[in-house]
Amino acid sequence: MVQFTDLTLAGLAAGAVYAAIGLALVLIWRATRIVNFAQGGMLMITTFLAYTVVSDGGSYWLALAVAVVSGLVLGAVVERLVIRPVENKPPLNAVIVTFGLLVLLQGVAGMVFGGTPKSYPPAFGIRGFVVAGRRLLFTPNDLWVVLVVLAVMVGLAAVFRWTPLGLKMRSAAFAPEVARLLGVRVGRMFTVGWALAAAVGALAGVLIAPDTFVSPNAFDATLVFGFTAAVVGGLDSPPGAVVGGLSLGLVLSYVSGYLGSDVVGLGALVVLVIVLMVRPNGLFGRAAGRRV
């Protein structure tokens, strides 16, 4: 029971990060109907930039700001240069292009930063809280991760719900032609969507870096977990990504605790396959109609 509590708390902390990455994927999917397989590469680059700041003596907070800002810029640049040519093309094209970008970024990072994993400092202490004389596996840093992710989600929901920018972005994604007629710059909204998503990804990268370390392919598994979170939630629904991320975090934590940490990747695969077998459009997704 004690182990169960520990695993549950650890699973929630990890799940919060998966939820954030899933959310980034959902944002991009809603805007451009593309699954961004380069997300893992983009957040790897921004985390490397943050690492450079930290290792040069900068503070954690400065590094976090650098990561988020560079994420915004990288997201916008990638959408303009790489994604624009494959928007509204067959889905296979976008999959191959974003996958290609993932490898390109990994190759460039390997050239610039080398392949050795680098350790990244956590924001707060990593000794668990003591409750009723027993030390939990839940640390102040875990609490920080959960709170940040929650704040980001509430913030994003508010932007989409109540700001003019959010309204324009929703209209551009929902009905591009009508939105364009009403004066919304649809292309620019797509760019903003990608920038926002990349910034959320960058944040998630810094949050998970103390656990995964930083190296060109340290975030491969994180990308798959984020994708699993997004798909479990239906790929179209931000609350779905959050639910998917948290439940995936719990399942993987139990798998790791009871079966061994070596098979966590396999656990994600099993979760993904089971959910997709039962509901091919995810838990919160609506079945897509096909027109003949």
Partner 1 sequence: MTLTETPPARRTRGPWPASTLVRHLLWSAVGLVVLYLVSISLNQFQDLQLAQICYTAIAAAGLTVLSGLSGQISLGNGAFMAVGAYSTALFLAHQQWPLAVVLVLSAAITAVVGLVVGAAAARLRGPYLAGATLALALGLPTLANYHGLRDQLGGANGLTVAPNPPPLALGIDFPLERWQAWICGLCLVITLFLLSNLVSSRIGRDMRLLREDEDSAALSGVRVARTQVLAFSVSAACAGLGGGLLAWVNSLAAPGAFPLTLSLSLLTAAVLGGLGSLAGAVYGAVIVTLLPAWSTDLAQSAHLSQSIYANIPLVVYGIVLFVVIVAFPGGLQAGFVRLWRALRNTTR
Residues contributing to the site for partner 1 (CB under 8 A): 29, 34-35, 37, 82, 85-86, 90-97, 99-108, 110-111, 114-115, 216-217, 220-221, 223-224, 227-228, 231, 235, 259-260, 262-269, 272-273, 276-277, 280, 290-292
Residue 165 or residue 266: which is nearer to partner 1 going by CB? 266
Minimum distance, C-beta of residue 246 to partner 1, in the bound complex (Å): 18
Evaluated on CA atoms 140, 63, 202, 116, the torsion sign reads negative
- The two structure tokens encoding residue 83: 């994604």
In this structure, are residues 14 and 249 in contact, taking their beta carbons and an 8 Å threshold? yes
Minimum distance, C-beta of residue 219 to partner 1, in the bound complex (Å): 11
Closest CA to 76 of 205, 198, 204: 198
Q: Please, is 291 exposed, middle or buried when counting C-beta atoms within 10 Å of its C-beta (0-12, 13-18, 19+)?
A: exposed
Residue 137 or residue 223: which is nearer to partner 1 going by CB? 223
> Which phi and psi angles does 83 have, rounded to 5°?
-90, -35
Cα dihedral 251, 252, 257, 260, rounded to 10, equals 130
Per DSSP, the three-state class of 130 is: strand
Place of tokens 């931000």: 238
Residue 111 or residue 157: which is nearer to partner 1 going by CB? 111
Minimum distance, C-beta of residue 39 to partner 1, in the bound complex (Å): 11
Residue 47 or residue 106: which is nearer to partner 1 going by CB? 106
Minimum distance, C-beta of residue 292 to partner 1, in the bound complex (Å): 4
Minimum distance, C-beta of residue 36 to partner 1, in the bound complex (Å): 9
Residue 151 or residue 266: which is nearer to partner 1 going by CB? 266
Minimum distance, C-beta of residue 282 to partner 1, in the bound complex (Å): 8
Cα dihedral 89, 91, 93, 98, rounded to 10, equals 120
Residue 100 or residue 121: which is nearer to partner 1 going by CB? 100
